[in-house]
Chain A
Amino acid sequence: MPEIKLSENTIQLIKNICAEFENKENELINVLHRVQGKLGYLPAEVQEVIAKELNIGVARVYGVVTFYSFFTMIPQGESPISICMGTACYVRGAEQVLAEFKRQLNVDVGESTNDGKFSINCLRCVGACGLAPVVTVGGKVFGRVAPSQVKEIIAEYTQSNSADEAKSA
């Protein structure tokens, strides 16, 4: 695992979040939820700060992080891709869609592409079973996705990103 040096600001941010929950051990899940919301992921160094603030062993923190699939220790891509693996999506071919995303981006579930643009995750039901199989990218929902559309979806984000870059340049 690459070592990360947390900035003073980040450490302070984590400390503040812990303080909001009165540094209580039984608020660990809420603290992790909030910190991941701010930082995007929970690397080891972040977990160590949280453990210290809540006065518990870092193994306990790591235990909770690895128990819930919601928590991740890997940074999310700029455009996080989530494929629904709920029952409805699954029976309508979500697995093939996932396989296609993995093939095209050359990453596994829970990983990010080298350029940091995309990451792939699985989730369970977004409540749009009528649109199965469902894929979300960032906040946007794509319904009735077929493996043949995967290239198109990826392209949409690659282009829009480069368009943004062009604009800012």
Chain B
Amino acid sequence: MDTINLTIDNKTIVVNKGTSILEAAAEVGIEIPTLCHMKLHDLNIENKPGGCRICVVEVEGRRNLAPACCTDAHDGMEISTHSLRVVNARRTVMELILSDHPFECLICAKSGNCDLQDMAHQLGIREVHYKGEQSHYRADTSPAIIREIDKCIMCRRCETMCNDVQTVGVLSAINRGFNSVVSPAFEMNLDHSECTYCGQCVAVCPTGALTEVDETGKVIRALADSTKTVVVQTAPAVRAALGEEFGLEPGTLVTGKLVAALRRLGFNYVFDTDFAADLTIMEEGTELLNRLNRFLSGDKDVKLPILTSCCPAWVKFFEHQFPDMKDIPSTARSPMQMFGAIAKTYFAEKLAVKREDLVVVSIMPCVAKKYERGRDEFKVNGNPDVDHVITTRELAALIKLSNIDFNALPNEEFDNPLGESSGAGVIFGTTGGVIEAAVRTAYEIQTKKELPRLDFDELRGMEGIREATIDFDGLPIKIGIAHGLGNARKLLEDIQAGKSEFHAIEIMSCPGGCIGGGGQPYHHGDASILKKRQMAIYREDSNKAIRKSHENPYIINLYKEFLGEPMSEKAHHLLHTQYFDRTEKVKI
């Protein structure tokens, strides 16, 4: 590849042709400030509209300042990243952005985590010299995501995630000039659109323009109500990320402290969604084998591949975009909903508590779960199986609010009977994990032999689409994996075209799976954090005494005492669901 020489702040460097000034500077340790720009290296995601102009630099001999993010480095360039002219321009740009931004930092949900706030601080802005009209646009609240457009700086990161990465296509810049905003088509509200609530827009928003619906107040009230028994479940990906909110290194596992914190918050029982993940494997794995065996025996009514159904954003995605394929995914409910259904029947009966007096709170890495819990099919006489969903971030806020010194907490254990889980349940938190967990159980049920190994490295990784063939004792099982809805779409289109040869496909909406969920601590554009969380999840798995879902003694007991067997009538009623064609629901 051709290389070029240039100097940046008097440092001479050699870079490949086609490198941007921003990337060239980074190679010599100079971090040019950016605002709209975002590059998630490992995931091949980039937002580079060149809109904010914060990253301007001075190029010797060039008339105007150059935006570093979208100007290629050229041979012989002499660049200054902090000359007087640059600093003045950068501050002017920042002041102009702030002149149309509400000064609500003290009470903003994003305060302390806001890229705009950080940048204003970094640039030393102490006064905004430009006073003028401010743009106003109505706020939009949906079951999961709040749009406060007045706080939008038009960086277009959400648009990149929604269109290019997720191919959901709900958010776009509309109108022109001062009146331009990011909005669904025809300025409809989010809850009327095809939004999947994956929350990847929230995950990348640099300001408080896009945030999750805050349910911490409801949780606090439930905990204070002495007539209620409040149980909590925590999703696998939460334990691999929560520590970041308390200054711990990304990838630090905080399972024990998480349990301790929840107990101190006042939850009566601290349970684990991982338990329900094991239950999901029992149901979904059995369904997979049923369909597979009928297919192999020539039953023409059986459709393969079977698709996983744990991810609520993925479910909403295919209900809107591929309604003709709604009979292909597994009918198994997500682990969160399975937990809710079991807690409000099996566990409530054990406690002799009415379901109305049992409150189920979920700690999720996800904002779509807030929507999922409200779906009508997950309610009994109007009472939802899951009452409240808070994200990893909201839990951190709750812990801080409650004067709990998280890092000083001891490690504690989950309660039983809904707190014990296998390593298979843990790996639900990362892309590839659900299908690996399913393989561990399905293999042993199908072949009636013990697995020769437990780690399926061929199913792991960060590639957007992966495939592997697993040998089921002479029977080759073809498995596909996609994370990110754009990648899922590619696999679905192959199925539609009859080109898919997979027996089973795992799909997770968020890049990286739940570890990269829209409710996780903000990664601020550093995708290496997701890899560290992923490694933490696999570490937790290998540390578990039990690593196969069907060997979890509490799962075995649950079937013996209550459910009968996988896919029994009772299991079907409580643990399975149906999907809907939502194409007609979208109305302007």
Tell me whether A and B are bound partners: yes
Q: How far is the CA of A36 from the CA of B168 in the complex (A)?
A: 26
Shortest CB–CB separation between residue B418 and chain A, in angstroms? 40
Tell yes or no: A1 within 8 A of B by CB.
yes
Q: Are A63 and B588 in contact (CB under 8 A)?
A: no
A62 CB-CB contact with B under 8 Å? yes
Cβ contact within 8 Å between B174 and A63: yes
Contact status A63-B186, CB under 8 Å: no
The reply on B219 being an interface residue by CB < 8 A is no
Query: Within 8 Å CB of A47, what residues of B?
Result: 185
> Is the Cβ of A66 less than 8 Å from the Cβ of B162?
no
Give A66 to B174 CA distance when docked, in angstroms.
6
Q: How large is the interface on B (under 10, 10 to 19, 20 to 34, 35 or more residues)?
A: 20 to 34
Report yes or no: A56 in contact with B169, Cβ–Cβ below 8 A.
Answer: yes
Of the residues B163, B175, B184, contact of A66 by C-beta under 8 Å: B175
Given contacts A44-B186, A58-B185, contact A66 B168 (CB under 8 A): no
Whether a CB of chain A sits under 8 angstroms from the CB of B223 is no
Q: At the interface, yes or no: B499 with Cβ under 8 Å from chain A?
A: no
Residue A138 lies at the interface, judged by CB distance under 8 Å to chain B: no
Contact for B183 among A59, A61, A69, CB less than 8 A: A59
Closest Cβ of chain A to B182, distance in Å, is: 9
On chain A, the number of residues with a Cβ less than 8 Å from chain B's Cβ atoms is 16
Partner of A1, one of B174, B183, B186: B186
In the complex, which of the residues B169, B175, B176, B180 contacts A59, with contact meaning CB atoms closer than 8 Å?
B169
Q: Which residues of chain A have C-beta atoms less than 8 A from B203's C-beta?
A: none
B316 to chain A, nearest CB (A): 15
Using a CB-CB cutoff of 8 Å, which residues 165-209 of chain B contact chain A?
167-176, 180, 183-186, 193
Closest Cβ of chain B to A80, distance in Å, is 21
Within 8 Å CB of A60, what residues of B?
163, 169, 172
Residues of B within 8 A of A116 (CB): none
Query: What sequence of 0s and 1s flags, for each residue 48-64 of chain A, a beta carbon within 8 Å of any chain B beta carbon?
Result: 00010000111111110
Nearest CB in chain A: distance from B161 CB, A: 12
Could you list 10 A-B pairs, sorted by A, with CB under 8 Å?
A51-B169, A57-B171, A57-B185, A59-B163, A59-B185, A59-B193, A60-B172, A62-B174, A67-B173, A69-B176
Residues of chain B at the chain A interface (Cβ within 8 Å): 162-163, 167-176, 180, 183-186, 193, 587-588
Given contacts A57-B162, A59-B193, 11 further A-B contacts (CB under 8 A): A57-B169, A57-B172, A58-B186, A59-B169, A59-B170, A62-B172, A62-B185, A63-B174, A66-B175, A67-B173, A67-B180
